[in-house]
Amino acid sequence: MRFIKTILLGLCAFGLSASLAIAAPDDEAFVQQKANEALAVLSDATLDQTTKSQRFSRFVDEVTDVRRVARFVLGKYARGADPQKVTRFTEVFRQYASGVYESQLGKFGGETLSVTGSQDRKPGDSVVTSVISGGQLDDPIDVKWRIRSKNGVKKVLDVQVFGIWLALQQRNEITAVIANHNGDIEAAITILNNKIANQEFGDPGGNATSQ
């Protein structure tokens, strides 16, 4: 009898540890589904570049909380800023970020993403870990996703690739630009507009001329 009890306790303990390992199963499923959709759009050989860019831009709008990320990127300059300037910054940032993500993810073709785990930061805020492998990659790439859940809606806040959180990286750059212009958000808007006009996001096809 004691033996069966021990076995049952062991199974319970195993079940508990297994459930702790998957901290945010819904978020893991969300990342897996959305990453598959993104890779499908970007590797669709039947789409021309313009159509691909439009679809990817819509996809970025759908899965990321652009307004929240834009305010995060503005850092301390978001507080007390002219709401119209913040709105204009958010729009231009949306276009810039979409271009950056497309240029980076566009280099993938034939790779697959596998979710490997997740960790809750606080309720509604988790980090999902994943690995991109196969295709043209010699070594797998670790990609981490910061997911926010509120009222049943999930959005991506940040993505870490090669150890760099992209939104954090963008905040450090944007706030440096604003600091260099006496705290004027307009300077960041102008620079981002120039980037978008010149399409300076690297080569989506991955055939960049190296510097």
Partner 1 sequence: MARMIFRIMVLMSVLIASTACTTRGATRQDDPLYSWNKAVFNFNKAADDVVVAPVARGYRAVVPEPGRDGVRNVLNNLRSPVTFGNDILQGKFGRASKTLARFSINSTLGLAGLFDIAKRAGINGHTEDMGQTLATYGINRGPYIMLPILGPSNFRDATGFVLDFGLEPMTYMRFKGRTAVLYGRFGVNGVSVREASLDTIKTLRDNSVDEYASLKSAYEQLRANAISDGKVNVDDLPDFDDFEDEE
Closest C-alpha among 164, 54, 35 to residue 98: 54
Choice between 10 and 140, CB closer to partner 1? 140
C-beta closer to partner 1: residue 47 or 187: 187
Segment lying near partner 1 (by CB under 8 A), choices 10-18, 34-42, 44-52, 203-211: 203-211
Site string for partner 1, 2-41 (x = CB under 8 A): ----------------------------------------
Selected from 40, 49, 180, 186, the binder of partner 1 by CB under 8 A is 180
- Is residue 89 at the binding interface for partner 1, with CB under 8 A as the rule? no
Of 115-134, which residues contact partner 1 (CB under 8 A)?
119-121, 127, 129
Residues 6+ apart with CB under 8 A from 34: 63, 156
- CB atoms under 10 Å from CB of 138, counted, come to 5
Q: Which of 7, 21, 40, 208 binds partner 1 (CB under 8 A)?
A: 208
Site string for partner 1, 158-177 (x = CB under 8 A): x-x-xxxx--xx--xxxxxx
Under rule CB under 8 A, residue 94 binds partner 1:
no
Contact positions toward partner 1, by CB under 8 A? 65, 68-69, 71-72, 74-76, 78-79, 100, 103-104, 119-121, 127, 129, 142, 144, 146, 148, 157-158, 160, 162-165, 168-169, 172-177, 179-180, 188, 191-192, 195, 200-202, 208-211
